[in-house]
Amino acid sequence: MTRTSSSARPGDLDLDEFRRVGYQVIDAIAAYHAGLADRRAIPDATPTDVAARFAEPLALDGESAAALLADWQARVEPLSTAVGSPRHFALVNGSGAMIGILAEALAACINTNGVSWKVAPAATEVERQCIRWLAQFIGYPDDCGGVLVSGGTMSNLTAILTALRHVAPYDSTPGGLQDAARSGRFLLYMSDQEGHVSVTRVADMLNLGRTAVRLVPSRPDFTMDAAALDRMLAADRASGDLPFCVVAQLGSVNVGAIDPLDALADICARHGVWLHGDGACGLLAAGLPEFRDRFRGLERADSLSLDAHKWLGVPYDCGVVLVRERERLRRAFSITAPYLRSETEVADRGIDFLEYGPQMSRSFRALKVWMVLRHFGVSGLRRMLAKNIALAHHLHDRVRTHPDFEVLHDPLLYLYCFRYVPRELRGREGDAEIARAVDQINREIAEAVQRSGVAFVTTTRIGGKVALRMSICSQRTLQDDIDMTFDALAHEGRAIAARQLAN
């Protein structure tokens, strides 16, 4: 069937208009990226301003593509935080590799729904290949199962539900938590300092209750104390509860801590508990030869999360979950309905991703992962990761040699926290009022730097103290960006401290 036509079908753009505006879209994207380093990191606008700019009725008559592009340039782009800025250090926001922009357009072109093999033959195999490549890169068995989801929270949900289904002492699929066979509470474990809030959210979504997340004491380097975990698992089991999953941090969100996988795997095996590694931020570091030792035991984890929209720089959104035994993932999620599978049985059957995760309809996320991975290649990716880690070390050097900053931890990955302590208040933080004042100075520094537009730096808490936090996971960040940001923090710090000290 070869029939070509330039006349538009209902709902479609005329192809000449599509080409004309499409080229303008490419120009707009290129111009945006050309100016990215000079943009404000956050727009200078209040929530009320932004809401007012968008509050309007939907037009009765349709608008042209050119008008929509013009409005994107007038309102959407200027009122968007520059997540791709080389000085965007908030949360764990990846830079959005440009090849991924093209991948997004191409995925939309074929409007793939990755629900099942029949609906998405190429997309299914591209996704499976991405899972194999990522597993190979980090040193995980590449015959594992896996699925792409929206992000780290959904990866953790997918893995933790798989854990629950696998470890529960009865078939929890039909009756779930309401099954009469249930005795005791299902419990999961993460470290108390650096365990991630998404795990608590997962406990919530699974209706286990937030208190089902047991917090295991950490060691001074913020990693989980394996001996303490061992004792907690034994005590909880002895009191009739059902420990089912330990979540190890593989590059924690504030300080990049990597929990001791080998020791945790031994303990989990002894207690019959699933070991999940939350590597949303840091798992890619396992692909760096110099980090192999830190990740020793990785292949023993039952499942892993890795966010492609974080350090890999794939445009939002994309999380990856890997499960060592593929069939366990399928057993946790397999569901069917007559309309989903109408064909007669065939020998050569592709896999249907709807059976391997929480979503049914799914966008072609794998295309951008596939293209980003291929665009960088193994050595390009390693170079990029190592560069971010080196920048965190450079920042650490600036912090430790400045008289007004305090080091809070050694840098390990690209996540680094530190604290402004004006030299006049050094050593006086034992006084609770002074400690509170220093906390306040740090909050105000982050807000002042945000307001200046130079960089997006936020605060967090480390060991109970308010700390400045920088997540250096953009491919675009250079040493100059770190220096410019650090100088701005020091400058604001001095001005704010001077005001506070004068009072």
Ligand X SMILES: Cc1ncc(COP(=O)(O)O)c(C=O)c1O
**CB closer to ligand X out of 193 and 198:** 198
Q: Please, what is the minimum distance in Å from the beta carbon of residue 255 to ligand X? A: 11
**Does residue 199 contact residue 213 with C-beta atoms inside 8 Å?**
yes
Task: Give the nearer residue to ligand X in terms of CB position, either 28 or 91.
Answer: 91
Residues 108-127 interacting with ligand X (rule: CB under 6 A):
none
Binding characters for ligand X, 56-95, by CB under 6 A (x = yes) = -----------------------------------xx---
* CA dist., res. 140 & res. 159, Å (int): 15
Q: Which residue's CB is nearer to ligand X, number 253 or number 261?
A: 253
Q: Is 433 strand, coil or helix?
A: helix
**Candidate residues 198, 359, 442, 450; the one interacting with ligand X per rule CB under 6 A:** 198
Tell me the window of 139-147, 150-158, 339-347, 348-356 that interacts with ligand X (CB under 6 A).
150-158
CB of 310 to ligand X, least distance (A): 7
CB of 356 closer than 8 Å to CB of 165: no
| CA–CA distance, 125 with 429 (Å, rounded to integer) | 57
User: Please, which residue, 82 or 304, has the CB nearer to ligand X?
Assistant: 304
Return the closest-CA partner of residue 186 out of 210, 161, 212, 160: 212
Mask: binding to ligand X, 256-285, rule CB under 6 A, as x and -? ----------------------x-xx----
Interaction of residue 307 with ligand X, rule CB under 6 A: yes
Q: Residue holding tokens 């000079």?
A: 38
Of 161 and 437, which CB lies nearer to ligand X in the complex structure? 161
Interacting span for ligand X (CB under 6 A) from 146-154, 333-341, 348-356, 426-434: 146-154
CA dist., res. 94 & res. 383, Å (int): 16
Using omega within 30 degrees of 0 as the cis cutoff, is the peptide bond preceding 439 cis?
no
Q: Does 153 bind ligand X (CB under 6 A)?
A: yes
Q: What are the Cα distances from residue 350, in Å, to 79, 121, 128, 138, 141?
A: 44, 8, 11, 26, 21
Rounded least distance, CB 195 to ligand X, Å: 9
Question: Closer CB to ligand X, residue 298 or residue 425?
Answer: 298
| Residue 162 is a binding residue for ligand X (CB under 6 A) | no
Total binding residues toward ligand X, as defined by CB under 6 A: 14
Buried b (16+ CB within 10 A) or exposed e, 197-208: ebbbebbebbeb
Q: Which of 84, 151, 243, 287 binds ligand X (CB under 6 A)?
A: 151
Alpha-carbon distance of 108 to 135, in angstroms, equals: 27
Query: Which residues within the stretch 404-423 sit at the binding site for ligand X (CB under 6 A)?
Result: none
Q: Smallest distance from the beta carbon of 63 to ligand X, in angstroms?
A: 33
Q: Give the closest residue to 241 by CA, choosing from 188, 163, 294, 293.
A: 188
Q: Which is nearer to ligand X, 92 or 408 (CB)?
A: 92
Stretch (H or E) spanning 305: strand 303-307
Interface with ligand X includes 196 (CB under 6 A)?
A: yes
Q: Per-residue contact track with ligand X, 168 to 187, x per CB under 6 A?
A: --------------------
Q: Which is nearer to ligand X, 376 or 414 (CB)?
A: 414
CB-neighbour burial class of residue 50 (10 A; exposed 0-12, middle 13-18, buried 19+): middle
Write out 317-360 in H/E/C secondary structure.
CCEEEEECCHHHHHHHHCCCCHHHCCCCCCCCCCCCHHHCCCCC
107 makes contact with ligand X (CB under 6 A)? no
Stretch 318-377 residues interacting with ligand X (CB under 6 A): 319
In this structure, which amino acid lies at residue 126? V
Please pick, from the candidates 120, 253, 308, 438, the single residue that binds ligand X as defined by CB under 6 A. Answer: 253
| 88 closest CA partner among 469, 496, 487 | 469
Give me Rg for the CA atoms of the chain.
25
- The nearest distance, CB 14 to ligand X, in angstroms, is 38
Contact set with ligand X (CB under 6 A): 91-92, 151-153, 156, 196, 198, 253, 278, 280-281, 307, 319
